[in-house]
Amino acid sequence: MALIDTINPLLTTGWSKGDAGWSLKDYEARGGYAQLKRILASKMTQDEVIAEVKKSALRGRGGAGFPAGLKWSFMPKAAPEKYVVCNTDEGEPGTFKDRDLLRYDPHSTIEGMIIAAYAVGAKRGYNYIHGEIFDIYQRFEEALDQARAAGYLGERILGSDFSFDLFAHHGWGAYICGEETGLLESIEGKKGQPRYKPPFPANFGLYGRPTTINNTETFAAIPFIMGMGGEAYLNLGKPNNGGTKLFSVSGHVNRPGNYEVPMGTPFAKLLEMAGGMRGGRKLKAVIPGGSSAPVLPADVIMDCTMDYDSIAKAGSMLGSGAVIVMDETVCMVKALERLSYFYFEESCGQCTPCREGSGWLYRVVHRIEHGEGRAEDLDLLNRVTDNMMGKTICALADAAAFPVRSFIKHFKSEFEYHIEHKKCLVDPEVQRAGSGFFRASSAAGAA
Amino acid sequence: MNKQYDMLSPEALGKIDREVAKYPADQKQSAVMAALVIAQDEKGWLPKETIAVVASYLGMAPIAAYEVASFYNMYDLHPVGKYKLTVCTNLPCALSGGVHAADYVKEKLGIDFNQTTPDGKFTLKEGECMGACGDAPVLLVNNKRMCSFMFPEEIDKLLAECN
């Protein structure tokens, strides 16, 4: 699905021609690779590039929101072999922005990675692409060939002393590889089980070498930041939340899709851009940052602006910018059951609290949903999450726990009704109609 | 060329060589994920013997390659039908009919998840997030072809196209 609406487009400027605007000549026509040329021609120092990115307050777009410039500055200067890695293992339920970034404008990510490699002194890079979007992986390989043929990649780029080459690596179905050290293990040809941190990738990354790893959208923003300057980029958003951000809006809206808006845009505005609530139904809840982020009830989210700080203050996370919208036809127990199954299925099995805990969460939510819940189950669920959070190598256990705790916290009466009455508070026929599957036709998809 | 590699075609081995070339010379194992996909595409699924051949070709222990093949969801360690359909039923998709789409396919084909039709044509799998939630309902055909907005009419059309 192409971009439908935007405010202050940067990342999405290349999307207007849909599938016809992704190739090198299109990217160059809209000013692409001009920043790389300028940096090399003017012999900007590595520190100058990093300073510009720091000034922009660009925060990691993959979910953690860590300042990108600061991350780059952690790379040891002297190390002979360093890597830059892009995380396009986009599997956080609700997130589908990086897929479109690479589909419609792969060269902005490539240019961003080359600039990053220049700034941190890396000679080789990889883009790890979600296995389920194989056509996007193939397109990215084609874009790499174009960049290589034009002299943007390879030995002595554009006649400078700087050499860098970039390759694509695909996943094959493992959510955990979106975790950065799991991803690095996966590139090394192993199970994608996360590593202990510290050491962080900046010291011990791919093949044990210093590695900078960022999300696709983070890299894609770099050419724009270098073009307009860090300060101008920062001013597009709000303090500490620089620039624009892609939001993937899914669920019960009239026009699901990707929307690029400045940080700090009111949620109500984003909802309006997405066409408002499907069928004019009432908003019930929103997960604002991908399925791992705590759910927020309608009245809370309607008062939020879309930036890291506002969403955090409301008790959730901006995460990857995946906005999952749920209307009044949703049974919150059933919704949570879907999510809990996901984390149970995708736990890598390495840490006992996560491997066993995610199973417990799923089985207990499942029995509540299926009319076999017990009075003590809500306490049990909270107790299991207590034994998971902060007790594992990576954050998947926390990601499994957050939905459970927040669904119970905000929609407790619905869970209690389920346990007491052995059925949904929301009429099953209403739920069935809510998905739109049975009355929709191809017209809905083409719109 | 070692005889055991006859199990894979020269084309497949050539593709694997291209993957190996992406990584440092002492890191051939990095190509194992792509190599297993190439082998799976050729064989239809991944018997243990094929995994062992891929491992040997990359200089890995067979168990190390098997660990990879059994960790990632899209490797098929058992035979599948000519068309493997994977329907996403995760929450964002479910809100827009993902579960209902899966139910619809089950009814049409008369099989449940992880089953294959008696004629060996279709295998149905439940998928996790494919990163295409705005296009729900979404399903994958044979891992590599993503189909978007799969409402009843579109599912009927897809099933009719699969010969």
**What would the DSSP string read from start to end of A417-436?**
HHHHHSS-SS-HHHHHHHT-
Beta-bridge mates of residue A168: A127
Confidence of residue A441 (pLDDT cuts 50, 70, 90): very low
Distance CA(B17)–CA(A129), nearest Å, equals: 20
3-state secondary structure chain B: CCHHHHHCCHHHHHHHHHHHCCCCCCCHHHHHHHHHHHHHHHHCCCCHHHHHHHHHHCCCCHHHHHHHHHHCCCCCCCCCCCEEEEEECCHHHHHCCHHHHHHHHHHHHCCCCCEECCCCCEEEEEECCCCCHHHCCCEEECCCEEECCCCHHHHHHHHHHCC
Distance CA(B85)–CA(B154), nearest Å, equals: 14
* Residue B153 at interface with chain A, using a CB cutoff of 8 Å: yes
Q: Which amino acid is at B53?
A: V
- Residue contact B22–A135, C-beta within 8 A: no
Contact at 8 Å (CB) between A118 and A124? no
Chain B (82-121) residues lying within 8 Å, Cβ to Cβ, of chain A = 89-92, 94-101, 104
Structure tokens at A31: 């000013």
Query: What are the two backbone dihedrals, phi and then psi, of residue B41, each rounded to the nearest 5 degrees?
Result: -60, -40
Q: What's the pLDDT tens digit per position in A181-204? A: 999 999 999 999 999 999 999 999
Q: Look at residue A447 and tell me whether its pLDDT is greater than 90.
A: no
- Residue contact A132–B146, C-beta within 8 A: yes
The count of residues in chain B is 163
Residues 6+ apart with CB under 8 A from B111: B117, B122, B124
Q: Look at residue A162 and tell me whether its pLDDT is greater than 70.
A: yes
Q: How many CB atoms lie within 10 A of CB A315?
A: 14
Q: Look at residue A7 and tell me whether its pLDDT is greater than 80.
A: no
Q: Look at residue A443 and tell me whether its pLDDT is greater than 90.
A: no
For B103, which residue in chain A has the nearest alpha carbon? A437
Structure tokens at B41: 């595409």
Quote the minimal CA–CA distance from B3 to chain A in Å.
Answer: 25
- Which residue bears the tokens 């879309």? A306
Mean pLDDT calculated for residue range B90-102 = 97
Q: What's the pLDDT tens digit per position in A83-138? A: 999 999 999 999 999 999 999 999 999 999 999 999 999 999 999 999 999 999 99
Q: Look at residue A444 and tell me whether its pLDDT is greater than 80.
A: no
Q: What's the pLDDT tens digit per position in B34-82? A: 999 999 999 999 999 999 999 999 999 999 999 999 999 999 999 999 9
| Alpha-carbon torsion (B10, B15, B16, B22), positive or negative | positive
Distance CA(A316)–CA(A326), nearest Å, equals: 16
Enumerate helices (H) and strands (E) in chain A, giving the number of each: 20, 12
Of residues A192, A256, A330, nearest to B71 (C-beta) = A192
Centroid of chain to Cα A112: 17
Chain A (18-57) residues lying within 8 Å, Cβ to Cβ, of chain B = none
Distance CA(A92)–CA(B90), nearest Å, equals: 10
- Residue contact B143–A131, C-beta within 8 A: yes
Lowest mean pLDDT of A131-145, A303-317, A433-447, B76-90, name the range.
A433-447
In three-state secondary structure terms, A176 is helix
Distance CA(A307)–CA(B126), nearest Å, equals: 34
Confidence of residue A442 (pLDDT cuts 50, 70, 90): very low
Q: What's the pLDDT tens digit per position in A295-312? A: 999 999 999 999 999 999
* Residue A249 at interface with chain B, using a CB cutoff of 8 Å: yes
Structure tokens at B123: 């295998």
- Residue contact A175–B58, C-beta within 8 A: no
Distance CA(B34)–CA(A169), nearest Å, equals: 8
For testing the chain B interface, which of A88, A172, A350, A441 should be mutated: the one with the most B CBs within 10 Å? A172
Contacts of A339 in chain B (CB under 8 A): 90-91
- Residue contact B30–A188, C-beta within 8 A: yes
Structure tokens at A208: 């044990």
Burial of B160 (0-12, 13-18, 19+ CB in 10 A): exposed
Burial of B59 (0-12, 13-18, 19+ CB in 10 A): exposed
| Helix extents (H) in A7-73 | 24-29, 34-41, 46-56, 68-73
**Pick from A398, A241, A389: which is nearest to A313 by CA?**
A241
Q: Which amino acid is at A69?
A: G
Distance CA(A192)–CA(B74), nearest Å, equals: 14
- Residue contact B91–A248, C-beta within 8 A: no
* Residue A80 at interface with chain B, using a CB cutoff of 8 Å: no
Exposure b/e, A397-410, CB count within 10 A at least 16 = b: bbbbbbbbbbbbeb
Mean pLDDT calculated for residue range A165-178 = 97
- Residue contact A445–B37, C-beta within 8 A: no
Mean pLDDT calculated for residue range A319-337 = 97
Query: What are the two backbone dihedrals, phi and then psi, of residue A306, each rounded to the nearest 5 degrees?
Result: -90, 85
This prediction has a pTM of 0.96
Q: Look at residue A440 and tell me whether its pLDDT is greater than 70.
A: no
C-alpha to C-alpha distances, A431 to A370, A411, A427, nearest whole angstrom: 15, 17, 6
Q: State the pLDDT at residue B5.
A: 83
Contacts of A92 in chain B (CB under 8 A): 129
Exposure b/e, A49-72, CB count within 10 A at least 16 = b: bbbbbbbbbbbbbbbebebbbebb
Distance CA(A35)–CA(A319), nearest Å, equals: 29
Tell me the average pLDDT of chain A. Answer: 95
Q: State the pLDDT at residue A3.
A: 56
Structure tokens at A144: 């790499």
Q: State the pLDDT at residue A144.
A: 98
Distance CA(A174)–CA(A131), nearest Å, equals: 9
Q: State the pLDDT at residue A4.
A: 59
Q: Which amino acid is at A447?
A: A
For testing the chain A interface, which of B20, B28, B32, B33 should be mutated: the one with the most A CBs within 10 Å? B33
Contact at 8 Å (CB) between A40 and A47? no
* Residue A430 at interface with chain B, using a CB cutoff of 8 Å: no
